[in-house]
Amino acid sequence: MRLEGKVALITGGAAGIGKATAERFLEEGAQVVICDVQEEAGQAALQELGPKLRFYKVDVADRDAVQVWVDDVAEKLGQIDVLVNNAGILADATLVKVRGGELVKQMAEADFDRVISVNLKGVFNCTQAVAPYMIRQGGGVILSASSVVGLDGNFGQTNYVATKAGVVGMTKVWARELGRHNIRVNAVAPGFITTEILNSMPEKVLGAMRARIPLGRMGRPREVANAYLFLASDEASFVSGAVMRVDGALVVGT
């Protein structure tokens, strides 16, 4: 019961790694509040994970909506001990595509802006809303989802990689700014994890991905959740400003 008596907020908690993290935190005694833009998936998570879970429909890119959510949780539960910034989206494309010397396609500006607004600004919004509560109560833990591609880059993911590299940078800044308030700030960088997105890919593509992982398999959402659990617990009491890779020693290709 490593999180007994703690209140944890998890964004993007209705599915995938977020849902696995909610389940893991519940098992360890936390009161867990998830938010997601997917109403149906959020309600399904409530039914599956039980009465200690709470769900709010929130778009993390909307600063005002985030503040309303955080304020309501703090009022009703009296504290916020852990924030997991997990929400994220993809909109992959190469920067430009040229054929015969002519530009035929490029990453849409709207897709760049949309991924930035959720994956990067959303982390900023939620952390900025939660930090004052943690400061007033004397401490807390802020965890954010980066990615191995945020450390190594990846073909066709200019927008996504920019956000995940940005999360690493913000994590290091906040670890310095908030450390004096007894707030630890860390990031987790998953590799290829068997979430709904990966499960929808053709087996040929999945096989090629597995071939780049020395452990010979994809990761499971619960394995990433275990990393979040460690970092959220007192076992990681002197870990701050770190980026933990959970990737099976993945070698990102070119």
What local confidence, expressed as pLDDT, does residue 254 receive?
Answer: 54
Given this model, what pLDDT does residue 81 score?
98
133 is catalytic: no
How far apart are alpha carbons 26 and 31 in whole angstroms? 7
By CB atoms closer than 10 A (0-12, 13-18, 19+), residue 96 is exposed
Task: Quote the pLDDT of residue 253.
Answer: 62
Question: Cα(185)–Cα(177) distance, rounded to whole angstroms?
Answer: 10
- Report the largest interatomic distance among the alpha carbons of the chain, rounded to a whole angstrom: 63
pLDDT of residue 251: 80
Total structural domains within the chain: 1
How many residues would you count in the chain?
254
* Residues contacting residue 252 through CB under 8 Å, at least 6 positions apart: 148, 149, 152, 153, 154, 212
Closest CA to 80 of 107, 102, 54, 51: 54
Residue 198 falls within a domain, yes or no?
Answer: yes
Domain that includes residue 150, residue range:
7-246
**Which whole-number Å values give the CA distances from 191 to 73, 117, 150, 200, 241, in the listed order?**
31, 22, 10, 17, 20
Kindly state whether residue 43 falls inside one of the protein's structural domains: yes
Helices vs strands, H then E, count in the chain: 10, 9
In a domain, 70, yes or no: yes
**pLDDT on residue 28:** 98
Please check whether residue 122 lies inside any domain of the structure: yes
Catalytic residue among 56, 133, 160, 228: 160
**pLDDT for residue 106:** 97
Residue 199: what pLDDT?
75
| CA 24/CA 86 separation, integer angstroms | 14
Residue 253 lies in a domain: no
Cα–Cα distance measured from residue 96 to residue 247, given in angstroms and rounded to the nearest whole number = 29
Q: What one-character DSSP code corresponds to residue 25? A: H
| CATH number of domain containing 223 | 3.40.50.720
Phi, psi of 222 (to 5 degrees): -65, -30
Q: What is the DSSP string of 242-254?
A: -EEEESTT-----
Q: Is 196 inside any structural domain?
A: yes
pLDDT of residue 140: 98
Q: Indicate whether 2 belongs to any domain.
A: no
The Cα 221–Cα 12 span in angstroms is 13
- Digit-by-digit pLDDT tens for the chain (254 residues) are 999 999 999 999 999 999 999 999 999 999 999 999 999 999 999 999 998 999 999 999 999 999 999 999 999 999 999 999 999 999 999 999 999 999 999 999 999 999 999 999 999 999 999 999 999 999 999 999 999 999 999 999 999 999 999 999 999 999 999 999 999 999 999 999 998 777 777 888 889 889 999 999 999 999 999 999 999 999 999 999 999 999 999 987 65
What pLDDT score was predicted for residue 209? 87
The pLDDT of residue 64 is 98
For residue 26, tell me if it sits in a domain.
yes
Q: Give the separation between CA 187 and CA 145, rounded to whole angstroms.
A: 6
Residue 75: per-residue pLDDT: 98
